[in-house]
Amino acid sequence: MEFKKLQKEILYNAKMYEENFKIKIDEDFSVLKLAEEMGEFYQALLIHRKKCRPEKSLPTNESKQALAHELADIFGMVIVIADRLNIDLEEALNKKWLDHLPSK
């Protein structure tokens, strides 16, 4: 999926979240939500690496799915934050990660 289309779909999902749960996703909420999602990712990583209490342990395929789920949440919140801060994330990614690479 094209990046701009992905952003649009994620922002639509955020709008539906706002409407369904009567929560305003402003800059403060989105940054705090990102911190929450990071915590959930760290917990999933501890479980995946078998550094958790035995009752939280999951089979590797399930723990990897949980990691992917939490990374998706983090990525989605980063897109929301960029939108709330009026940052073109695609442009920023290109400038930071890609523009300096040698031609293929």
Categorize the per-residue pLDDT at 102 as very low, low, confident or very high, splitting at 50, 70 and 90: confident
In a domain, 74, yes or no: yes
Which of the four pLDDT bands, split at 50, 70 and 90, describes residue 1?
A: confident
What does the alpha-carbon distance between residue 22 and residue 63 come to, in Å, rounded to a whole number?
32
Digit-coded pLDDT (tens) for 2-21: 999 999 999 999 999 999 99
Tell me the mean pLDDT in the region 15-31.
97
Cα–Cα distance for residue pair 29/34, rounded to 1 Å: 9
Q: What is the CB neighbour count within 10 angstroms for residue 76?
A: 21
pLDDT, one tens digit per residue, over 35-91 is: 999 999 999 999 999 999 999 999 999 999 999 999 999 999 999 999 999 999 999
What total of structural domains would you count in the chain? 1
- pLDDT score at 101: 87
104 within a domain of the structure (yes/no) = no
Instruction: Give me the half-sphere count of Cα atoms (radius 13 Å) on the Cβ side of residue 5.
Output: 2
- Supply the CATH number for residue 35's domain: 1.10.287.1080
Range of 69's domain? 3-98
**CA nearest to 85, candidates 5, 34, 31:** 31
Question: The pTM is what?
Answer: 0.91
| Residue 31 exposed, middle or buried by CB count within 10 Å (0-12, 13-18, 19+) | middle
Q: Is 79 helix (H, G, I), strand (E, B) or coil?
A: helix
Assess if residue 103 is contained within a domain. Answer: no
